[in-house]
């Protein structure tokens, strides 16, 4: 039998592309199969949205600051990378989260699953909703299931089931913060499919969730022994530790940073592709994984398949920025007794949310300092990003003064801009994905992965990248290969 050599190119070195490349490197090593894999990344560094900076004893996350432990793929990858000891949960003694409501910070009642109560006691005692709002939410138990099938917006689903107040005051800021999106246009099926599923199965999402709190605690505690029962976890030195560990495990893979994939052509061989890459020779490969944002995938694939590119361009992205401010602890008057606060859109403030980073996590600020991180922008609220960095810092300081009474001068300020960073899964997103898959069926050996498609969170991107590597492996196993 001749030795079979397979070549793969991964375009995009964010967490999805790195996970795909890692999956390919691992399976090549375990099978001793000579897959030649190259990864090209347009930016000078790997990691995409994951960006940690260490400045003067502060650990600052420019993009994501943590990931959900209930979705196991992030924690599991850390374990595989030998990082289990580096994974940390949120500080268990400061577990409060606040919601800015009518001029003050109200504590979010304990036991909410993304805004829906799993325990009644703390919820009934909360000042966040009026009695009318609480009664309307309780009436959810009596509201019949929706008859029509098909997608609906997040706001339509929760308004129908839980009422206006619960949607606007709790659910909207918690859920749409994850997507930096607009509840009127985000798809419930593509963002939080568990809730319509609960409606279908139990007839009520409140009934389905009541009593589940204890079970959830056990699940998250069981995953890694040094964690508190925390939903969100990170790494001691920041999320870039994961990027570094992944990069170190890529083995013989060729990694080219600072090189943008420009265009893809079908090469002569069936299922083969030739990829034009800025600053280097075109590369002919047997399989191609495109792990870029969908709009960059559209540019890359335009000359190969205009219809596929049009479908990809139809996934919109919202722009955001994070602004981290460090203060001397001795000057700081606010007690920071929690993880931070979210701001409902109806409050009309510039802030989406503020994390009290040094209270939420250990190892984020020197002992004599505190660190806060503000989140601004998002779908329909992007005008704020036209301001200069200095303007954004002044704006956030004014907001912190109004909401928390912070008047102190920061000793550190960092602004990270994320243009077209958060994919918006609009109503109909799943149908769009089906149409994309239909086009892809015409292009054997071409695969798409990344936040634009099947989940924006880090664990989803990891799962999708690893699954894509498996698909490439299965594709090769079916016999698409070149003998050398």
Ligand X SMILES: Cc1cc2nc3c(=O)[nH]c(=O)nc-3n(C[C@H](O)[C@H](O)[C@H](O)COP(=O)(O)OP(=O)(O)OC[C@H]3O[C@@H](n4cnc5c(N)ncnc54)[C@H](O)[C@@H]3O)c2cc1C
The stretch among 10-18, 146-154, 310-318, 361-369 that binds ligand X (CB under 6 A) is: 10-18
The stretch among 221-229, 244-252, 451-459, 468-476 that binds ligand X (CB under 6 A) is: 451-459
Q: Is 421 in the site for ligand X (CB under 6 A)?
A: yes
Nearer to ligand X, 289 or 370 (CB): 289
What track of x and - describes contact with ligand X for positions 264 through 303 (by CB under 6 A)? Answer: ---------------------------xxx--x---x---
Nearer to ligand X, 76 or 152 (CB): 76
Nearer to ligand X, 143 or 178 (CB): 178
Residue identified by tokens 């009664």 is: 135
Q: Is 241 in the site for ligand X (CB under 6 A)?
A: no
Of 296-315, which residues contact ligand X (CB under 6 A)?
296, 300
SS3 assignment, position 19: helix
Of 38-67, which residues contact ligand X (CB under 6 A)?
40-43, 48-50, 63-67
Task: Say if residue 339 is exposed, middle or buried (CB neighbours under 10 Å; 0-12, 13-18, 19+).
Answer: buried
**Beta pairing partners, 370:** 327
The number of residues that bind ligand X (CB under 6 A) is: 37
Site for ligand X (CB under 6 A): which residue of 17, 133, 378, 410? 17
Report the C-alpha gap between 438 and 193 in whole angstroms.
22
Q: Is 453 in the site for ligand X (CB under 6 A)?
A: no
Report the C-alpha gap between 97 and 341 in whole angstroms.
6
Q: Is 238 in the site for ligand X (CB under 6 A)?
A: no
Q: Is 14 in the site for ligand X (CB under 6 A)?
A: yes
What are the residues whose beta carbons fall under 8 Å from the beta carbon of 228, sequence distance 6 or more?
A: 89, 90, 91, 92, 221
Tallying the residues shown for the chain, one arrives at: 484
Tell me the backbone φ, ψ of residue 266, rounded to 5 degrees: -70, 130
Alpha helices by DSSP H, listed for 380-457, are: 389-404, 429-440, 451-454
Least separation, in Å, of the C-beta of 222 and ligand X? 20
Q: Is 410 in the site for ligand X (CB under 6 A)?
A: no
What track of x and - describes contact with ligand X for positions 82 through 111 (by CB under 6 A)? Answer: ------------------------------
Tell me the backbone φ, ψ of residue 409, rounded to 5 degrees: -90, 125
DSSP strands (E only) in 273-368: 273-277, 283-285, 287-290, 317-328, 340-342, 351-355
Least separation, in Å, of the C-beta of 297 and ligand X? 8
Nearer to ligand X, 7 or 320 (CB): 320
Q: What angle do CA 462, 465, 471 make, to 5 degrees?
A: 140
The two tokens of residue 439 are: 């086009």
Q: Is 230 in the site for ligand X (CB under 6 A)?
A: no
Site for ligand X (CB under 6 A): which residue of 261, 272, 338, 445? 261
The two tokens of residue 273 are: 């592709």
Report the C-alpha gap between 138 and 100 in whole angstroms.
23
The two tokens of residue 290 are: 């495109």
Least separation, in Å, of the C-beta of 191 and ligand X? 13
Nearer to ligand X, 111 or 261 (CB): 261
Least separation, in Å, of the C-beta of 71 and ligand X? 9
Element (H, E) at 414: strand 412-423
Closest among 151, 465, 435 to 289, alpha carbons compared: 465
Nearer to ligand X, 82 or 419 (CB): 419
Q: Is 154 in the site for ligand X (CB under 6 A)?
A: no
Least separation, in Å, of the C-beta of 83 and ligand X? 16
Report the C-alpha gap between 164 and 152 in whole angstroms.
16
Q: Is 448 in the site for ligand X (CB under 6 A)?
A: no
Radius of gyration of the chain (CA): 23
Report the C-alpha gap between 369 and 339 in whole angstroms.
16
Nearer to ligand X, 156 or 362 (CB): 362
Nearer to ligand X, 146 or 262 (CB): 262
Q: Which residues bind ligand X (CB under 6 A)?
A: 11-17, 40-43, 48-50, 63-67, 260-261, 291-293, 296, 300, 320, 322, 418, 421-422, 450-451, 456-458, 461
């Amino acid at each position: 039998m001749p030795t079979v050599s397979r070549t793969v190119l991964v375009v995009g070195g964010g967490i999805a592309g790195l996970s795909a490349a890692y999956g390919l490197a691992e399976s090549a090593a375990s099978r001793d199969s000579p897959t030649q894999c190259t990864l090209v990344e347009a930016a000078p560094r790997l990691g995409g949205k994951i960006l940690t900076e260490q400045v003067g004893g502060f650990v600052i996350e420019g993009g994501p600051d943590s990931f959900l432990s209930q979705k196991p793929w992030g924690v599991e990858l850390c374990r595989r990378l030998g990082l289990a000891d580096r994974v940390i949960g949120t500080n268990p003694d400061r577990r409060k989260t606040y919601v800015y409501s009518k001029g003050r910070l109200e504590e979010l009642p304990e036991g909410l699953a993304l805004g829906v109560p799993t325990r009644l006691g703390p919820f009934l005692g909360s000042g966040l909703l009026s009695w009318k709002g609480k009664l309307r939410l309780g009436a959810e138990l009596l509201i019949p299931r929706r008859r029509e099938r098909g997608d609906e917006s997040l706001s339509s689903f929760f308004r129908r089931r839980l009422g206006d107040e619960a949607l606007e005051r709790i659910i909207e800021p918690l859920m749409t913060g994850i997507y930096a999106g607009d509840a009127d246009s985000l798809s419930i099926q593509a963002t939080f499919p568990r809730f319509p599923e609960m409606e279908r199965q139990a007839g009520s999402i409140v009934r389905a969730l009541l009593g589940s709190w204890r079970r959830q605690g056990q699940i998250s505690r069981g995953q890694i022994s040094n964690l508190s029962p925390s939903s969100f976890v990170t790494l001691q030195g920041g999320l870039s530790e994961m990027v570094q560990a992944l990069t170190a495990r890529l083995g013989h893979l060729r990694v080219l940073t600072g090189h943008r994939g420009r265009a893809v052509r079908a090469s002569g061989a069936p299922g083969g592709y030739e990829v034009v890459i800025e600053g280097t020779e075109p590369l002919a490969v047997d399989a191609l994984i495109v792990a870029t944002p969908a709009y960059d995938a559209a540019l890359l694939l335009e000359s190969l398949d205009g219809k596929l590119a049009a479908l990809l361009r139809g996934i919109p992205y919202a722009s955001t920025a994070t602004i981290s401010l460090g203060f001397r602890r001795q000057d700081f008057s606010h007690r920071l007794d929690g993880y931070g606060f979210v701001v409902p859109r109806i409050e009309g403030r510039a802030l989406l949310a503020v994390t009290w980073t040094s209270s939420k996590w250990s190892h984020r600020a020197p002992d004599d300092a505190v660190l806060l991180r503000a989140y601004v922008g998002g779908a329909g609220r992007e005008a704020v990003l036209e301001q200069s960095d200095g303007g954004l810092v002044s704006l956030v300081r004014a907001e912190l003064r109004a909401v928390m009474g912070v008047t102190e001068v920061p000793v550190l300020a960092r602004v990270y801009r994320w243009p077209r960073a958060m994919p918006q899964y609009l109503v109909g997103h799943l149908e769009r994905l089906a149409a994309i898959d239909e086009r892809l069926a015409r292009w054997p050996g071409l695969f798409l992965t990344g936040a634009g498609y099947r989940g924006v969170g880090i664990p989803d991107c990891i799962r999708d990248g690893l699954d894509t590597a498996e698909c490439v492996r299965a594709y090769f196993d079916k016999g698409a290969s070149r003998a050398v």
